Structure 1
């Protein structure tokens, strides 16, 4: 059995393929079938050299080990199995705390992120009263869905079908791309799959259809313009690359390289406008995830280095962020923060000057420091810096919305941002996020 997908697929069992990083909802009726599915899950993981975290009761975990029997030794499974007591994990002895449960999940997977190890998670949710905590439970599962999809860990969340109300099941299907029973695995019909459309209720649809039409027209216009500009940009960049490889004159090669740089910079600006508009108008892009910070920083630095070259500004970076550094945010928002701040630093620098980017982890925080020696700002201008539609330099291009978005996203990520500047001497911006 194979579930079709456009992204990378991995084995759930010997015969079933699912998206890498999937979040599967499992409602079981038979403990016997439950154990059979868990055994298959573990054996498939071992065949892919993946570790398995099992979050279960002690009694059922012992039953699992008994079921695995001689395979534990034959397949050397002991080193790949990692056990967590589910009652301790979900803290069923007290009131469930959403942030604490998410923190427990992060603590559980962090060693595997640190060791760059492939892992999958099987967790039996233990709760004193699931029906009372339905909203909190759904919030936790939604957050876990975003988390595992981002860091690429296959996770199965298990519930006893005889104990959990159908209303809870319906809600949970919205936060899990796959739904499994003892005998079947299907795509969840209520999950917002990227390649499928899910409609709101009739009442909700009527309420928002006017607003959606407005945003749809606005975004459609932006996408049309972007498409019309990007196509010739691609052609220009391709011809510049071909000519540069064919021409031996170094001066002409330098000019053709500049054409390549401008093509990349313009394409980035178009994409930046689209993403900013989406952040302003779509709730999806404000959802929080656990993300790896360093790859995003490296990606933005590469683009901004090119942008700097187009304006004869040198970007110098000092990146001392471990590869396993994780923050709670989302990729698009984190990318927009760094991109906006670096773009402004380059824009307001003098030709031939340098913009310095520093990033490091210290005392439980990820720090980002961007320094330029450009036009700078007065104290009064700094106070207006993060207000919507406030442009400090009226001669520079832009709508004055970028830094407003930066402040909103940094705050949403539980981060802090501080600015110090002096006219004619440049600006120093410091941002920090808890890790």
Structure 2
């Protein structure tokens, strides 16, 4: 049963969502709408995005938000975030996550994250993506976080697609949000 993202997030303290996108135009509209909805709920936003898309996203957000609201958005370059060690390395990524979230959680802030994962740049086995997504799913549930993981669907290997469906309880597309039929909560890795 499809629902609207806004309705889903109202009823859940935490959510780990997959957004497999095909259109960059829809992607831009979705990321902006997701952030605006979070700001309207007085959430702090962590935006992990490609630097070439940031100017477009920020231009749209500046139309709708005050300077004080814009200060609630914490921007991280997705390449620096995922590849700071020179490769996609889950322990280093988890270190970044801890540094980003801890100050906000210490202030009892509600946090909404958008992360653009550019899987096509990952060298090595794509199984490491599933390993990290399992940990992020547990983190989301334990800390009450809303985390949207955006992956470009074009050319995505079937093994990665199935891995993402197993590690994300909710799937977002242009028609709304649905539950993943493949989600396996028993398979989540302890932090």
Question: Deviation at 1:169?
Answer: 0.8
Is the alpha carbon distance of 1:286 and 1:66 closer, same or farther for their aligned partners in structure 2, counting shifts above 3 Å? closer
Question: Deviation at 1:49?
Answer: 0.7
Contact 1:138 1:172 in 2 (8 A): yes
Q: Deviations over 1:165-187 (max 9, x none)?
A: 22201111111101112333210
Question: Deviation at 1:95?
Answer: 2.3
Partner of 2:31: 38
Partner of 1:150: 142
Contact 1:20 1:153 in 2 (8 A): yes
Is the alpha carbon distance of 1:116 and 1:2 closer, same or farther for their aligned partners in structure 2, counting shifts above 3 Å? farther
Partner of 2:42: 49
Q: Deviations over 1:305-350 (max 9, x none)?
A: xxxxxxxxxxxxxxxxxxxxxxxxxxxxxxxxxxxxxxxxxxxxxx
Q: What's the secondary structure of 2:17's corresponding residue?
A: strand
Partner of 1:240: none
Q: How does 1:275-286 map to 2 (within 5 A)?
A: 284=186
Work out which of the residue numbers 69, 79, 82 in structure 1 matches 2:74. Answer: 82
Contact 2:13 2:145 in 1 (8 A): yes
Q: For the aligned residues, what is the CA RMSD?
A: 2.5
Q: Give the structure, 1 or 2, with the largest relative contact order (CA under 8 Å, sep 6 or more).
A: 2
Work out which of the residue numbers 107, 132, 135 in structure 1 matches 2:127. Answer: 135
Contact 1:90 1:126 in 2 (8 A): no
Question: Deviation at 1:188?
Answer: 0.5
Question: Deviation at 1:92?
Answer: 6.5
Question: Deviation at 1:77?
Answer: 2.3
Question: Deviation at 1:106?
Answer: 1.6
> If the length of structure 1 is used for normalisation, what is the TM-score?
0.41
> If the length of structure 2 is used for normalisation, what is the TM-score?
0.88
Q: What's the secondary structure of 2:20's corresponding residue?
A: strand
Question: Deviation at 1:130?
Answer: 4.1
Q: What's the secondary structure of 1:158's corresponding residue?
A: strand
How many residue pairs are counted as aligned between the two chains?
190
Distance 1:183 1:61 in 2: 25
Contact 1:50 1:118 in 2 (8 A): yes
Gapped regions of structure 1 (runs ≥ 5): 4-10, 194-283, 290-435
Larger Rg: 1
Contact 2:20 2:153 in 1 (8 A): yes
Q: What's the secondary structure of 1:70's corresponding residue?
A: helix
Question: Deviation at 1:72?
Answer: 2.3
